[in-house]
Structure 1
């Protein structure tokens, strides 16, 4: 219960105190007891209920505050529903007493930007899809006062180097922090690409922007092959994690839990690689990997090139069954209104010399918008199903 002078809640609070008999009767809780169940996004299939224990959530709060560099005077704003694991972002203030802005109603980008002004937000958070929209909005309407912001945090899905460059140019003087996390780790952030990393990348090592940073102190990370064996540094494979913010398992899915958590490790279903300095590069979700003519193609690699074309507003790349190649690389594109006449062949030609022949899309399909989950992640499984049903000639 919150109360304060002039808000008319003082008497209600006092009456509750008068009715209370002694100390509240807190339930006996063990660190391994379930705090809440959060469902996954369902981008690769049916959402699964992730059982998150008390201690995992406590550890997530402590480690997040440390890595983010939050202080008690910060004002933290996260525009999103609290009906999934993002709720952990709304309780970070339990660890340091900072102010947290909790949104009301459905998400509206201009309203969120105005709230930054109104509440003098110091640190904001956006998923890449929202970040892209925010950049467009700010460039079109430059009267937003974002002077209180000291840092913008982004993550939860892949961000292209172009998006990061645009964010740096738009949010002038504001630090950038990229994070990589998942529901199965209680929204514990697995890796961080710091503002210093952004500066270094933009100054002399642009390829570093394809990284999601270095692994948090909370986790061990191992890159493994299909047999579950570690691979050499620099080689790609599935990302396996071990740490103290892990889920207890999937609700009512013992077989899926056993498959996902062998020997105390978490199999993330994400494909990545580690370089010799410890930077983690996300290549794609394992289920989105395209095998065309026996060659592995990572959709995010193709998307990062296509989004550089001036006509492309958004793009999603998926594999569609093909009689000769096994799968064909197909790009689903939302065109910018100012470039509505661009052709699929023009985009394919743009990829020549920038991508290998297997990576270059065989087809381009134009749509008005891409399907997304409630937390703004692409529904690639839905796209793949639609395209496989005859949307591709």
Structure 2
């Protein structure tokens, strides 16, 4: 049994999972996983089979996932709302079996294509694997194969957190001075069960078919924390859940944090238990972070950084008042032409449906534009979103940050539209707090931006969003922009 599961099953106190009114304690966890492993044996699922499971946010689904990983299967988490892409993903993953729900009635035998050498090589080692799909925002959805032990070994013997939350006042020693994973918040030693401390309490906000959601699950279990399932992804519901379950950690995105502040849902609920907001998946506008700090003065904010190909990295904030952060741990980085490149020894084994993205020396081009200052980094957006206006480069994130300061604008997404004169022009889709005439809005935008941006950066075309700009991965998406 791997070190991860040895540690997990050594925990004896505290709640592990909360689903509606049902709670699963750490003392019951091993028996629940054993029951799922018995189900796999009854159904003749081989220990090295590739098994896909639809990730409904239920205790049974998570027990099935843990059982698959403990016995050495290659697990393929699939989105619960992704039925239209399911067949394609099952083919790409070479899945032998599919669980549409976590019981015998939900199990289907599949006929996979010939497995690539990456899967065969992993099967020969007897190690468990995970196939995680990228979001596809940069083009084709890619299937990344990870070795499970390499993903979770980065947590070491020190689970999520800095020091136990609540031991000292928030102003005494700030949470987040050291990266998540730097000091224990769970039990100090596996064998010292009497020293087990209460872990973090967090909702399953990021979806469990996503590398960020999986990292939240595994880090939390490793640290003896509590995961609250079935979290509706609306500002009011999330704030209500924080109050009800005394949540201490909220993993989220800049887009969703903005929605909370605009809706004022934080004013309607008691969020005093909340100690840490870990945000990632997209750049954080400095003005938004400043506003969030004012509204939630007792909460620490931590920039997280993760990739489907590399997993979620260890980070620490640069200071308490900025969007700068430091990549720590075993990650090397370099910046080439303003783009961040990363290197680790525990990355994915490779893509199943695309060429190897690592160069000859093991470096990975993230495609993220960054600034560097005294060893700290700040994300400026994606290199593939740069708009070329008559030879001038426009970073959409810069323009979006300005547009968000315009009265009545809740959020903005900037994109390029082809032009016969300049090649491209800057266009923007705006989410408004209250509806207004588009022509009047266009004039207000032009006047506001005239004092803040160079002329070629000012949007010449304005669309008003019919729906919110947030996509299914809880960040802004270009698919709803036009």
The Cα shift of 1:338 comes to: 6.9
- The aligned counterpart of 1:234 is none
Displacement of 1:98: 2.3
Structure-2 change in CA distance of 1:339 and 1:313 (3 Å): farther
Partner of 2:218: 91
Of 288, 303, 321, 1:178 maps to 303
**Further displaced range: 126-135 or 371-380:** 371-380
- SS of aligned partner of 2:304: strand
Q: Contact 2:389–2:456 (CA<8 Å) still a contact in 1?
A: yes
Change (3 A) 1:121 1:216: same
**TM-superposed deviation, 1:364:** 1.7
Alignment partner, residue 217 of structure 1: 329
Q: 352, 355, 359: which is aligned to 2:450? A: 352
1:188–1:80: structure 2 CA closer, same or farther, 3 Å change rule? same
For 2:256 and 2:184, the matched residues in 1 are separated by 22
TM-score by length of 1: 0.77
Q: Deviations over 1:129-161 (max 9, x none)?
A: 111122233x35634111111222112211111
Q: Which residue of 1 aligns with 2:294?
A: 169
Alignment of 1:245-284 (within 5 A): 245-253=346-354, 255=355, 257=356, 259-275=357-373, 277-284=374-381
Q: Secondary structure at the match of 1:146?
A: coil
Paired residue secondary structure (1:302): helix
SS of equivalent to 1:343: helix
Residue in structure 2 matched with residue 375 of structure 1 by the alignment: 473
Q: In structure 1, what is the Cα distance between the partners aligned to 2:472 and 2:435?
A: 28
Q: Which residue of 2 aligns with 1:315?
A: 412
Mapped contact 2:341–2:364 kept (Cα < 8 A): yes
Matched, 1:193 2:317: yes
Identify which of 269, 285, 301 aligns with 1:144.
269
Gaps of 5+ in 2: 1-8, 10-15, 39-66, 74-122, 162-178, 187-197
Change (3 A) 1:373 1:142: closer
Deviations 1:196-240 (A, max 9, x none): x12xx3xxxxxx43x3x1122221111113xxxxxxxxxxx2211
Kindly indicate whether the alpha-carbon contact (under 8 Å) linking 2:206 and 2:251 is maintained by their aligned counterparts in 1.
no
Name the SS of the counterpart of 2:312 in structure 1. coil
For residues 266-318 of structure 1, the C-alpha deviation after alignment (integer angstroms, 9 at most, x for no partner) is 1111122322x112122221211111111111110111111111121110011
Aligned length: 346
Q: In structure 2, how many angstroms separate the alpha carbons of the residues matched to 1:374 and 1:38?
A: 16
2:460 pairs with 1:362: yes
Q: What are structure 1's unaligned runs of at least 5 residues?
A: 202-207, 226-236, 387-393
Match 1:51 to one of 135, 141, 145: 145
2: CA distance, partners of 1:141 / 1:172 = 12
Query: Are 2:227 and 1:130 aligned?
Result: no
Contact 2:277 2:302 in 1 (8 A): yes
Correspondence for 1:110: 236
Relative contact order (alpha carbons < 8 A, sep ≥ 6): 1 or 2 greater? 1
1:118/1:141 CA distance change after superposition, 3 Å: closer
Query: 2:431 corresponds to which residue?
Result: 334
User: 1: CA distance between counterparts of 2:456 and 2:361?
Assistant: 37
Using the size of structure 2 for normalisation, the TM-score is 0.64
Task: Kindly indicate whether the alpha-carbon contact (under 8 Å) linking 1:31 and 1:55 is maintained by their aligned counterparts in 2.
Answer: no
**CA distance in 2 between partners of 1:105 and 1:279 (Å):** 34
1:182 deviates by 1.7
Identify the match of residue 65 of structure 1 among 160, 170, 189: 160
**RMSD in angstroms over aligned alpha carbons?**
3.4
Checking the alignment, whether the CA contact within 8 Å between 1:56 and 1:186 is kept in structure 2 is: no
Alignment of 1:12-51 (within 5 A): 26-27=71-72, 33=127, 35-51=129-145
SS in 2 for 1:347: helix
Checking the alignment, whether the CA contact within 8 Å between 2:396 and 2:415 is kept in structure 1 is yes
Could you say what secondary structure the match of 1:333 adopts? Answer: strand
1:81 paired residue among 202, 207, 213: 207
Residues of 1 paired with 2:383 and 2:454: CA distance? 20
CA pair 99-298 structure 1, distance change in 2 beyond 3 A: same
Distance 1:156 1:8 in 2: 30
Q: What is the Cα deviation at residue 363 of structure 1?
A: 1.9
